[in-house]
Amino acid sequence: MSLREINFDGVVGPSHNYAGLSLGNLASARNAGAASQPRAAAIEGLNKMRANLALGLAQGIIVPHPRPDRAWLAELGTNIEDADAALAANAMSASAMWAANAATVSPAPDTADGKCHLTVANLRTMPHRSHEWPATLAQLRLAFAARAFAVHPPVPAAFGDEGAANHMRLAPAHGEPGVEIFVYGVSGGAFPARQHVEASRAVARRHQLEPERVIFAEQSEAAIAAGAFHNDVVAVANERVLFAHEQAFADRDALIEACERLVPGFDYVEVPAAEVPLADAIRSYLFNAQLVTPPDGQPTLILPTEARETPTVWRWIEQHVAGNGPIRRAEVVDVRQSMANGGGPACLRLRVVADPADVDPRFIVDNGKLDAMTDVIRGHWPEQIDHAELQRPALIAQIEQARAALLDRLGLAELI
């Protein structure tokens, strides 16, 4: 068994729009009502995947969900044509593109039964995301149908679970036993704390993790109140490295002590608030980057262009790389359409440590498959969506036909 980290990126769906539905997500609120460019957004996402492949990383995809979500609207006694505008916007959201919220993943080296466990997130805090899980579950059960995996439905909705965006893993290498960190919120001031500790504990039990190698860490109220609606907006981990803002955690010292005790060679890389204010870190999505280890062994930070355009952030990055710190390289990708709705490079991907041979090959991509997907997107995705037009019949038909065309090209008729 050859275990690798595979990044499964969410393909930006044809209904990508700016409805400002996510309370606590400052970018989403700031751009509410603006015109979106679904075609450009999806191609940006595919180009990010190409950049990952160029680094030598394994790359997978998660395809768009059905939009509008007609089944969800039917449960509410209405349909996309008759629903009020706010409900229609919730049914048209393309937020499933942020695959970091699809599930929490525990690789086989960490689990008692030697399987890679995935628990689909319930996303119950936000209405526009709360109806994602059935389509996510169907997709993950297809992609990870092999005996090497165990795919679980969501934890009960009484406890909010937002998936891998609030989960980190430290290990000497991806294929070795690791320590899993579940980050939860208690209070976020005016904004909701989306990850409940009971949901995190339930996921850890389901995944048969050794309790002594699990850490539950509270996200700081200051971070949530500042717009860090998920932990991955203020912290990211990879192998031995935990990269975080000084104000990310409620009890930073306790977390560091536990990591030093449990993770051989642990490296903590902290960005001081005096050098990069929390507001700059969140605006630039410095920490919503992919921290990866390519085959050349050089830990690399894959950042959005907004990080390079924020002086305090870029100065810190240049100094760290020049100073021979644990992060050896910074690569910049353009995902502006996603960023404008509050999701950076890390939001767009779900990390799964597994043998790629165990994954349904339809969900693994190379440049040739990305070329084919680009052809479909250029031919079918709307060029622009104005928020006021979400219930326009011609637009709805185009969105549904676009998704069907992509699934047909990928041979995923089971998901139509």
One digit per residue, pLDDT tens: the chain, 416 residues?
A: 699 999 999 999 999 999 888 777 676 778 888 999 999 999 999 999 999 999 999 999 999 999 999 999 999 999 999 999 999 999 999 999 999 999 999 999 999 999 999 999 999 999 999 999 999 999 999 999 999 999 999 999 999 999 999 999 999 999 999 999 999 999 878 888 899 999 999 999 999 999 999 999 999 999 999 988 899 999 999 999 999 999 999 999 999 999 999 999 999 999 999 999 999 999 999 999 999 999 999 999 999 999 999 999 999 999 999 998 999 999 999 999 999 988 999 999 999 999 999 999 999 999 999 999 999 999 999 999 998 999 999 999 999 999 999 999 999 999 99
Inter-residue contact 288 to 233 (CB < 8 Å) = yes
User: What pLDDT is recorded for position 1?
Assistant: 62
Distance CA 271, CA 234 (A): 10
Cα 34 off chain centre by: 23
Q: Which H or E run contains 406?
A: helix 393-410
| Strand, coil or helix: 128 | helix
Amino acid at 94: A
Based on the residue annotation, tell me whether 347 is a catalytic residue of this protein: yes
Inter-residue contact 124 to 130 (CB < 8 Å) = yes
Which residue out of 117, 347, 380, 387 is catalytically annotated?
Answer: 347
Radius of gyration, alpha carbons of the chain: 20
Structure tokens at 30: 């700031």
Alpha helices, DSSP H, located in 93-132: 127-130
User: What pLDDT is recorded for position 187?
Assistant: 84
Which residue out of 65, 117, 207, 230 is catalytically annotated?
Answer: 230
Q: What is the pTM of this model?
A: 0.96
User: What pLDDT is recorded for position 27?
Assistant: 67
Which residue out of 5, 44, 162, 180 is catalytically annotated?
Answer: 162
Based on the residue annotation, tell me whether 162 is a catalytic residue of this protein: yes
User: What pLDDT is recorded for position 20?
Assistant: 85
Inter-residue contact 104 to 118 (CB < 8 Å) = yes
Based on the residue annotation, tell me whether 207 is a catalytic residue of this protein: no
User: What pLDDT is recorded for position 188?
Assistant: 75
Distance CA 407, CA 396 (A): 17
